[in-house]
Amino acid sequence: MTSRNHSAFDDPLPEPGSVRRTLNHLLPVGFAVIGISLSMVLGHLDAQREQNEQVANLAARLSGVRGALEAQLRSAFSEAEGIAQLISADGTISDEHFRGMARDALASVPYMRHIALAPDDVIRQVYPLEGNQRILGLDYRRLPEQLPLVASARERHTPVLAGPLQLYQGGRALIYRRPVFVNGKRGVSFYWGSVSVVADIDRLLLAAGLRPEAGFELAVRGSDGKGAEGELIWGSAELFDYPQVKVNVEVPGGVWEMVAAPRGGWSALNLFSSPLFLFALSCTGLFSLFVAQLNRKQRLLELRNRELRQYQAQLERLAHYDTITGLPNRVLFQQQLSTAIRQGHGLAVLMLDIDGFKQVNDSLGHPMGDLLLQQATARFLQELDTQDRVCRLGGDEFVFMLQGAQGQVNHQIRALLRCLQRPFDLNGNASLVTGSIGLAWCPQHGEDADSLLRHADTAMYAAKESGRNAWRPYLPDMTERLQQRLELERNLRRALERNEFELWYQPKLDLFSGRLEGVEALLRWRDPDHGLVSPAEFIPLAERTGLIIPLGERVLELACVQLAAWRASNSLPGPLAINVAALQIERSDYVTSLASALERHGLPANLLEVEITESLLMESQQQACAVLAQLQAMGVATAVDDFGTGYSSLAYLRALPIDHLKIDRAFIKDLPGDDDAVAIARAIIDLGHALGFRITAEGIETQAQYDFLRNAGCDQGQGFLLGRPMPAEALQQWLTDNQALRRLPAS
């Protein structure tokens, strides 16, 4: 129903996309996957680097071994060179000479076993002879396994290394064969034979550094200098299956192949042994956790932000919308009105107040009052055009902003009043209310929001004063009246502060005996500028502004002071009646404050009587009824004032705690000439009596009225004929002047 006013807030808040949320959830997982992959690549590279390092390391050591081996071989067989050179000079060498050179060689190279001379490839000399006699006379040409090498050395003119081979003398050895050529005449050289050096291969290799404790495994192959094709010389043949590190060793007349592997084999490519992999993996874990945590924080922040936005929207709603009706409140309406004023003229501002709303609230309770406001709002919105606006100012006050020509606006106002006249169904309680509307035009009655609202409000009061269920356009003199009212209010406050109030007293007589039965206290304001002001002028305003509360307290106090004084001077004129306004009764503490005033002044309750107007009784029935019952129970007499004006029925009053009925002056003034007045007066008196009330007639001005009322059986009378309201001193004089009245015996 309030869509036109709510449009800005009805849209749901923008939800962050679910796609983004999913991505946010996946982000840490994504980081983890990428991180683990990267860690694996890094780890792999790291492991490979380590392996390469191991290979390079081993290769370096292997080339060291090769160097040592080649050096050992060179030094081992260099001795043969000297002998060969000597022979090549003339094809001979003396026995001593050979033995001397061979002895020196064997002494300097510990693993050398013997040196032999084989002219024409037949061994003729050997050193040492001991243990080697068996080889003397050995013909290489008859040894098929030796012959090819011997032939090769001879053909290529280079030494060759044979073996390892099993020696006739026992043991495994390498044989270095140096072919010797003798320089003949005319520069022609001829093959002499060979010098061979036999060395213990195992000791030679040991001297070159091939030891089992080297920290890595070695293998050498290439017997007879045949490289990869040669047989295994040293170590395990398996090392050649998957060689990682391999070098060639230059040996006389050929090569050996040497491979190495770490002892215990090559370490397998293990990621978890890579510190880099472990480091990268840890970093990935930590980073993913960090991202997840960050993500969580971000989500929390988003959660929280959404709450904040909702809270802000709620605050905005509270700040700009009425919670009961959902309509814009005064703040928002004023903004809307200001905008509409800026955009162009021809605006009508309506102020509407629901008449009788207070009674609904009082009698049915606030929830029903709220329901009425909601139902009324729904009806208003049905009557409005799309460009019109409505707001609830608070209480039962609504403001409308209508666009259109005068005739159209008038038509809409009447429609609004009509829509309120239909009964409201408040959870089964039918309720009838009406509305009062004030109208202000822009720009005639104001060019800004404030003045338009103020003038519409003033016009609304005029409509209310005219009798409600009506509407009034604003007129400038309404403001004047309002200003007068405001001035009166100011003066009234001042009067309260300065104690400018006094009570006058009007006698109440027994109509049958003429005896004084009591007095009514009537409030007077002695304004220093305007003199004596009648309560009819200021009581209604005091009721509207709430000033009636302090004023009522003042009346109660003045009445008690006066009663106490009369008692003290033994001149009590009977019980004193005071008038009480609706607002006083509605205050929960009225009975208490009355009781405490009586107590303060040491007065019995039966000296006080309370008058409540019939219309007040009808307005706040439950509250008034409860207060009257309490007063009655205390001993304070109760009276319905101005009876006949409030549309109550006697049958209804019967149920209320009331002692007196005071017939309103309107029904007395036409007595006894007017038949209707006579009939009404008789009816009230007879029926009132039948229901057990004492009847008082107000405003008796003529003897004829007095006579009629006394004959009709009216109990008590009050009026200018019997005694005008007068100050306390004047009352004393009146009492003196009317001694007889006082002295009349009680009936």
Site for ligand C2E, rule CB under 6 A? 506, 522-523, 534-536, 539, 555, 579-581, 611, 641-642, 665, 698-701, 718-720, 725
Please give the Cα distance from 578 to 562 (Å, whole number): 12
φ/ψ of 341, rounded to 5, equals -65, -45
CB of 329 to Mg ion, least distance (A): 42
Residue with Cβ nearer Mg ion (327 or 627): 627
Reduced 3-state DSSP string for 364-393? HCHHHHHHHHHHHHHHHHHHCCCCCEEEEE
Residue 388's binding partner among Mg ion, ligand C2E, none (Cβ under 5 to 8 angstroms by kind) is none
609 forms part of the interface with Mg ion (CB under 5 A): no
Residue 522's binding partner among ligand C2E, Mg ion, none (Cβ under 5 to 8 angstroms by kind) is ligand C2E
Residue 553's binding partner among ligand C2E, Mg ion, none (Cβ under 5 to 8 angstroms by kind) is none
Q: Angle, nearest 10°, between helix axes 275-320 and 330-343?
A: 80
Q: Residue 348 in 3-state DSSP?
A: strand
Tell me which H or E stretch contains 528.
none
Residue 369's binding partner among Mg ion, ligand C2E, none (Cβ under 5 to 8 angstroms by kind) is none
Residue with Cβ nearer ligand C2E (491 or 718): 718
CB of 472 to ligand C2E, least distance (A): 27
Residue with Cβ nearer ligand C2E (135 or 559): 559
Please give the Cα distance from 486 to 481 (Å, whole number): 9
Residue with Cβ nearer ligand C2E (327 or 598): 598
Please give the Cα distance from 175 to 684 (Å, whole number): 165
CB of 611 to ligand C2E, least distance (A): 6
611 forms part of the interface with Mg ion (CB under 5 A): yes
Asked whether the bond before 573 is cis by omega within 30 degrees of 0, the reply is no
Residue with Cβ nearer Mg ion (88 or 696): 696
User: How does strand 160-166 pair with strand 112-119?
Assistant: unpaired
User: Which segment (547-555, 622-630, 678-686, 692-700) binds Mg ion by CB under 5 A?
Assistant: 692-700
Q: Backbone dihedral region of 459: left (phi > 0), alpha (psi from -120 to 50 degrees) or beta?
A: alpha
Residue with Cβ nearer ligand C2E (642 or 715): 642
User: Which segment (239-247, 283-291, 566-574, 604-612) binds Mg ion by CB under 5 A?
Assistant: 604-612
Neighbours of 31 (CB within 10 A): 19
- Does residue 322 contact residue 328 with C-beta atoms inside 8 Å? yes
Q: From the centroid of its chain, how far is CA 228?
A: 81
Residue 87's binding partner among Mg ion, ligand C2E, none (Cβ under 5 to 8 angstroms by kind) is none
**Given 3-state DSSP classes, what are the helix, strand and coil percentages for the chain, each rounded to the nearest 5?**
55, 20, 25
Residue 107's binding partner among ligand C2E, Mg ion, none (Cβ under 5 to 8 angstroms by kind) is none
CB of 609 to ligand C2E, least distance (A): 12
CB of 725 to Mg ion, least distance (A): 10
User: Which segment (256-264, 401-409, 683-691, 695-703) binds Mg ion by CB under 5 A?
Assistant: 695-703
Residue 506's binding partner among Mg ion, ligand C2E, none (Cβ under 5 to 8 angstroms by kind) is ligand C2E
Give 330-339 contacts, CB < 8 A, sequence gap 24+.
Answer: 330/391, 330/393, 330/394, 330/399, 332/391, 333/389, 333/391, 333/393, 333/399, 333/401, 334/449, 334/450, 334/453, 336/389, 336/391, 336/401, 337/389, 337/401, 337/449, 337/452, 337/453, 338/448, 338/449
Tell me which H or E stretch contains 449.
helix 449-465
CB of 521 to Mg ion, least distance (A): 9
Residue 439's binding partner among Mg ion, ligand C2E, none (Cβ under 5 to 8 angstroms by kind) is none
CB of 336 to ligand C2E, least distance (A): 42
φ/ψ of 639, rounded to 5, equals -140, 145
Say how many Å lie between the first and final Cα of the chain, rounded: 69
Fill in the amino acid letter for 526.
Answer: R
Please give the Cα distance from 289 to 21 (Å, whole number): 18
Residue with Cβ nearer ligand C2E (113 or 710): 710
Please give the Cα distance from 690 to 359 (Å, whole number): 30
Tell me which H or E stretch contains 232.
strand 232-234
Residue with Cβ nearer ligand C2E (412 or 613): 613
Residue with Cβ nearer Mg ion (388 or 642): 642
* Both tokens assigned to 728: 């306390």
CB of 747 to ligand C2E, least distance (A): 23
Residue 725's binding partner among ligand C2E, Mg ion, none (Cβ under 5 to 8 angstroms by kind) is ligand C2E
Residue with Cβ nearer Mg ion (409 or 516): 516
Q: Angle, nearest 10°, between helix axes 621-634 and 357-364?
A: 60
Q: Which residues contact 418 (CB under 8 A, 6 or more apart)?
A: none
Residue 168's binding partner among ligand C2E, Mg ion, none (Cβ under 5 to 8 angstroms by kind) is none
Residue 536's binding partner among ligand C2E, Mg ion, none (Cβ under 5 to 8 angstroms by kind) is ligand C2E
Q: Which of 325, 579, 696, 718 binds Mg ion (CB under 5 A)?
A: 579
Residue with Cβ nearer ligand C2E (324 or 603): 603
CB of 583 to ligand C2E, least distance (A): 9
CB of 588 to ligand C2E, least distance (A): 18
CB of 635 to ligand C2E, least distance (A): 21
| Number of residues lying near Mg ion (CB under 5 A) | 5
Residue with Cβ nearer ligand C2E (253 or 507): 507
Binders of Mg ion among residues 624 to 643 (CB under 5 A) are 641-642
Which burial class, exposed, middle or buried, applies to 673 when counting CB atoms under 10 A from its CB (0-12, 13-18, 19+)? exposed
Residue with Cβ nearer Mg ion (452 or 640): 640
Residue with Cβ nearer ligand C2E (247 or 521): 521
Q: Which residues contact 586 (CB under 8 A, 6 or more apart)?
A: 362, 620, 623
Residue 346's binding partner among Mg ion, ligand C2E, none (Cβ under 5 to 8 angstroms by kind) is none
Residue with Cβ nearer ligand C2E (393 or 555): 555
Residue with Cβ nearer ligand C2E (5 or 705): 705
Please give the Cα distance from 576 to 563 (Å, whole number): 8
Fill in the amino acid letter for 354.
Answer: I
Tell me which H or E stretch contains 9.
helix 3-10
CB of 643 to Mg ion, least distance (A): 8
716 forms part of the interface with Mg ion (CB under 5 A): no
Neighbours of 483 (CB within 10 A): 11
* Both tokens assigned to 217: 């495994």
CB of 345 to ligand C2E, least distance (A): 46
CB of 575 to ligand C2E, least distance (A): 15
Q: Angle, nearest 10°, between helix axes 18-90 and 95-108?
A: 160
Residue 614's binding partner among Mg ion, ligand C2E, none (Cβ under 5 to 8 angstroms by kind) is none
CB of 524 to ligand C2E, least distance (A): 7
Residue 152's binding partner among ligand C2E, Mg ion, none (Cβ under 5 to 8 angstroms by kind) is none
Binders of Mg ion among residues 641 to 670 (CB under 5 A) are 641-642
CB of 723 to ligand C2E, least distance (A): 9
Buried b (16+ CB within 10 A) or exposed e, 617-630: bebbbebbbebbeb
Binding residues for Mg ion, rule: CB under 5 A, are 579, 611, 641-642, 698
